[in-house]
Copies of this chain bind each other. A is one copy, B any other.
Amino acid sequence: MSTRPMEIWFEFASSYSYVAVMRVEPLARATDVELVWRPFLLGPVFLSLGWNDSPFNIYPPKGRYMWRDLERLCAKYAIPFRLPTKFPRSGLLAARVALLGAGQDWEGAFARAAMAANFAEDRDIGTPEVVGEILTDLRLPAADLLERARSEDNKLALRRQTGRAEELGIFGAPSFVVGKELFWGSDRMDDALDWAVARRQEA
C-alpha cells in the first residue's frame, strides 16, 4: 500500500499553527499518514500580500476574535494556553533550527516545545537563549545546533523553503499539502488527513 504524505507548513509565530502542531502527530499516526514537517516564514508571504504585520494586528476586530477563538480551541483540545505578552514573536531562529531537524527524530518534539514556549509559557522564542534552553531540555546539543542554524547554507535553505510555500499557493499558516491539494488552517487538518487516506486507498 503506497502512502501519500501530508506536509504541515507552519510558522512558529502563528497562533493557529500552535493548535495544529500540538495535535498533528497522534492524528497522523492514527490514520497511518506519513507526516512531513515544513517550517517556513510567514513574513515574506504576508509582505507579498501587502501586510507588514500580522493581519490580526492590522485588523483589530479579527485580532480580538482570534485570541478568544484560540482560547476556546485550546480548551476544546486540552492544549495549554497563555496569552503571549508579545505578538507576533519572531519565528526566524526557531524555524532555522526546525529546518535542521528535518527527518530527525526530534523535529516534532522541537516544534511542539518551541510553539508551547510562545503560546503557553509566554517565552520569547525569538532569542537564542530561549531556543537554546528548549534544545537543552530536549537533550540536544544546543550550542552546535544554534551555530549550524545560523550558517549561510541553512539561512538559504529556509529562504528557499519559504519561496516554495509561495509557489504552492500558500498564503497563511498552518497549511497542509497532500499531493497537489492545499488545505489552509488548523480547521482543515482533518480534511487533509482524510484526503491523504482516500488517495492512498485509490493507489
Contact = CB atoms under 8 A, between A and B. Distances in A.
A65 B191 CA distance: 15
Nearest to A194: B76
A37 to B, nearest CB: 21
Given A59-B49, A59-B171, A171-B59, A184 B72 contact: no
Interface residues of A, number: 21
A182 interface: yes
Contacts of A187: 185, 187
Q: Copy number of this protein in the oligomer? A: 2
B49 A184 contact: no
Contacts of A59: 49, 171
A71 to B, nearest CB: 11
A62 B171 CA distance: 7
A187 B183 CA distance: 13
Given A65-B184, A185-B187, 19 more contacts: A49-B59, A49-B61, A59-B171, A61-B169, A61-B170, A61-B171, A62-B171, A62-B172, A64-B169, A65-B169, A65-B171, A65-B182, A68-B182, A69-B183, A69-B184, A69-B188, A72-B191, A76-B191, A187-B187
